[in-house]
Amino acid sequence: MRDVAIVGVGAHPAGKFPEKALKDLGREAIWNALRDAGLGPDDIQTAYVGNSLGGLLTGQEGIRGQVVLQEAGLGGIPVINVENACASAATALRGAWLEVASGLVDVAIAVGVEKMFVGDLARSISALAADSELELSQMGMQFSASYAIHPKINLKGRMAQYGWTSEDFANVAVKNAHNGSLNPYAQHRRELTVEDVLGSRMIADPLTLYMCSSIADGAAAAILCPLDMAERISERPPIKVAACALRSGVYRFPDDGAEDSVTLTAKEAYEKAGIGPEDVDVVEVHDAMAPAELMIYERLGFCGPGEGPKLIDDGVTTLGGSKPVNPSGGLCARGHPVGATGLLQIAELVWQLRGEAGERQITNSPKVAMAQNQGGLMLGQDSAAYAVTLLQQ
């Protein structure tokens, strides 16, 4: 397998864009990535297009990738449609990576695109619920509530177990809102205080509105090529894809003591890249509900069980800290257009590694970046898809 580099990234901001269709969002992200790499549509040899809810929400049940690519001026090449719930975009990236790594093609694009605002919030919420196994969505399992009580996340239970407080949860949302306020691609660009977060509407105890990601439109894309050809293909500094780990959930039995799937995915990525958690300089995590970030710290190996709030309190994971987490604002502030999220994370990390992140640029001269993306909920009490990607300067 060849080493692979990312030589171009682009995004469409997350937010509410009533006048834009799926293909408009995708076109803008694709062309931003092409321009970033200094390439044209004819240079792309294969495309993986991640999208999750477009079938239910727009009615375009099939061929969404081809529809989006044609709008951007790409045709004739192999197009692979990728659906993996909220991890669709990370899964698309892995597909593009694999084609380049294997030697099948030299230039591939990964795209993630989602259109969630369709003028009917209940329909969007229902579509999101359909990313859970059917018996769960039919039973009315609500996405935010599942973060509060689902055995594998159980934020409510963790409060009892570790003494985590609502203030600890609000602190995560406040950190990420600050980052998002500096990000032109973010859906929510305003600072929040702890009082704002705790005073916002209750969604599912202990989660208030500002702790939860909202629905969003958005898109992102990345262009990949072999590392040793990167200088010839693009003038942009190549960012090496050091690991692209993807797992699916496993059937969990209550209190079986088995290692968590986020941990297993991260371990696989660390092993492939030959590095450890201490080597990671900047991270984008899948905080569909901001407090989940505290739990993900543990699962990625950044702290021990229950110690997440200390990383926040000590400023370790702020923009100026030694290990900034969610410099983009994360899913709650930057936004969570579900099938685009994994590549919005990648775009942010490439910008941070290149030093191009503007006002939210982190200051620890990052060399190694990590994206953690996951999606879907199964009857076997695990998420459906888990992805961890490592990038290296």
Between residues 149 and 194, which has the closer beta carbon with respect to another protein? 149
Instruction: Kindly tell me which residue out of 146, 213, 318, 389 binds another protein, with binding defined by CB under 8 A.
Output: 146
Is 380 a binder of another protein (CB under 8 A)? yes
SS (H, E, C) 124-175: HHHHHHCCECHHHHHCCCCHHHHHHHCCCCCHHHHHHHHCCCHHHHHHHHHH
CB of residue 120 to another protein, shortest distance in Å: 9
Stretch 197-236: interaction string toward another protein, x if CB under 8 A: ----xxxxx-------------------------------
Instruction: Kindly tell me which residue out of 1, 61, 253, 257 binds another protein, with binding defined by CB under 8 A.
Output: 253
Is 63 a binder of another protein (CB under 8 A)? no
Between residues 1 and 122, which has the closer beta carbon with respect to another protein? 122
Element (DSSP H or E) covering residue 30: helix 22-37
Q: Indicate which residue of 86, 212, 303, 332 is catalytic.
A: 86
Instruction: Show contacts with another protein in window 115-134 (CB under 8 A).
Output: 122-123, 125-126, 128-129
Instruction: Kindly tell me which residue out of 42, 135, 235, 314 binds another protein, with binding defined by CB under 8 A.
Output: 135
150 noted as active-site residue: no
Instruction: Kindly tell me which residue out of 1, 18, 19, 139 binds another protein, with binding defined by CB under 8 A.
Output: 139
Say if residues 223 and 46 touch (Cβ distance below 8 Å): no
d(CA 295, CA 343): 22
336 noted as active-site residue: yes
Instruction: Kindly tell me which residue out of 118, 141, 194, 198 binds another protein, with binding defined by CB under 8 A.
Output: 141
Residue with tokens 């994971």: 317
Is 80 a binder of another protein (CB under 8 A)? no
Angle at 90 between CA 86 and CA 96, to 5 degrees: 140
Between residues 144 and 317, which has the closer beta carbon with respect to another protein? 144
Say if residues 11 and 183 touch (Cβ distance below 8 Å): no
Per-residue burial over 235-272, b = 16 or more CB atoms within 10 Å of its CB, e = otherwise: ebbbbbbbbbbbbebeebeeeeeeebbbbbbbbbbbee
Residue 346, phi then psi, degrees to nearest 5? -65, -45
d(CA 199, CA 307): 25
Residue with tokens 């693009």: 234
- Binding span for another protein by CB under 8 A among 41-49, 72-80, 149-157, 171-179: 149-157
Residue with tokens 């003038």: 235
**Which residues belong to the active site?**
86, 336
Query: Which stretches of the chain bind another protein, using CB under 8 A?
Result: 122-123, 125-126, 128-129, 135-142, 144-146, 148-151, 154, 156-157, 201-205, 250-251, 253-254, 379-381
